[in-house]
Amino acid sequence: MSEAPFGRRLLTVTGVDELGAYRVLRVADRDMPQSGWQAGDLHPGQFAMLTAVERWGGGEGERPYLPRAFSVARRTDSEAHFLLEDVGPGTQRLCELRAGDQLWVLAPLGRGFTPPSDGRRALLVGGGVGIAPLAIHQDTLVGGTGAGPQDLQAPAGRVPGVEVTVLLGFRDSSRATGAALLDRAQVATDDGSVGHHGLVTELLAAEIERDPHAIVYACGPAGMLEGVRALCERTGTSAQLALEAGMACGYGACFGCVVPKRGGGYLRVCVDGPVIDAAELEHVDAHAGGAGGTR
């Protein structure tokens, strides 16, 4: 796991690309480590706290005030990518950024995914904007270096021995366009407009039945993650869940982003996670979606 430099860094936006209902924010960053599994590498699932330098505040309700947390969605040689959906004053402001605008970035933070051992298959399960960390996870598992700055499609090649299956769920077709962030994804939509008409956890149940020894890596809304957790508990499948939570600092200072831990007490999503072994949770808390005060 890479340590973050102490203090936020001033970085420049290289571009913002539309991806259906989402935006891919590309930021020039030559200093963040490349993704990998060694100590000192950027681990897939690690995240950044982002603040627009100009006009951070003065939006809806005179917000935003706090930085906003985003998984690194992709790391190229020269850029870090973040996947945005406009769901509140913070994400709205970030969606407005254009090439040349400046950002404060505190990264990389948190604990990321642990790769599968013993040649086990990786089942990547994403929902909505939560597909972001699965893109860099896929890149890293298959040995790709990430897409070029102008190309949102992931590299197609795979390293033998690590089989990766990608299952993504979206509300509708404009969001399902986000599936292009990953390679060869099976898609489910709530409205049936693209792929399987239903929940991504239904696709997951079928995959687990075929291969009970697979490892599940999931990120998405709290309801989806709870579905994944409950399913994996029933089937005895190991699962790593990347959680979201309203967060003020991202580095363990505020104690605001907690989720209940199995057996009592709480985990801080920012420093104990955001990737948490499903076995550590009794359930995925409904509030672990960051809704409300810190979007």
Partner 1 sequence: MPMPEGRAGLDERAWPRWISVLGRSRAKGRAMSIEFCGLTLVHPIINGSGTFDAIAARRVFGDALLADFPFSAYVSKTITLEPRVGNPPPRLWETAAGLINSIGLPNKGLRGYLAEDLPQLAEIVAGAGAAAGRGPVPLITNVMGASAEELSTLVGACEERPEIAAIELNVSCPNVKTGLDIGADPVQLEQVVSTVRNRTGKPLIVKLTPNTADVAACAQAAEQGGADAVSLINTLRATALAPRRSGQRAGESDGRAGESRGLWLGGGSGGQSGPAIRAVALAQVSAVAALVGVPVIGMGGVQSAVHACDLIDVGATLVAVGTESFRDPAAGSRIALGL
Phi, psi of 128 (to 5 degrees): 60, -140
N- to C-terminal Cα distance for the chain?
27
| Encoded amino acid at 89, one letter | P
Q: Which residues of 92-122 are buried (b: 16+ CB within 10 A; e: fewer)?
A: bbbbebeeebebbbbbbbbbbbbbbeeeebb
Chain centroid to CA 219: 6
| Encoded amino acid at 246, one letter | G
CB of 55 to partner 1, least distance (A): 9
Phi, psi of 151 (to 5 degrees): -125, 110
Burial class (CB in 10 A: 0-12, 13-18, 19+), 137: buried
Q: Which is nearer to partner 1, 38 or 117 (CB)?
A: 38
The whole-angstrom separation of Cα 45 and Cα 113 is: 6
**Chain residues in the site for partner 1 (CB under 8 A):** 3-8, 51, 53-54, 56-57, 61-67, 104, 106, 109, 245-249, 251-260, 264-266, 268, 271, 285, 287-288, 291-294
Residues with Cβ within 8 Å of 91's Cβ and at least 6 positions away in sequence, in order, are 68, 84, 85, 295
HEC string of 20-59 equals: CCEEEEEEECCCCCCECCCCCCECCCCEEEEEECCCCCCC
210 and 186 in contact (C-beta within 8 Å)?
Answer: no
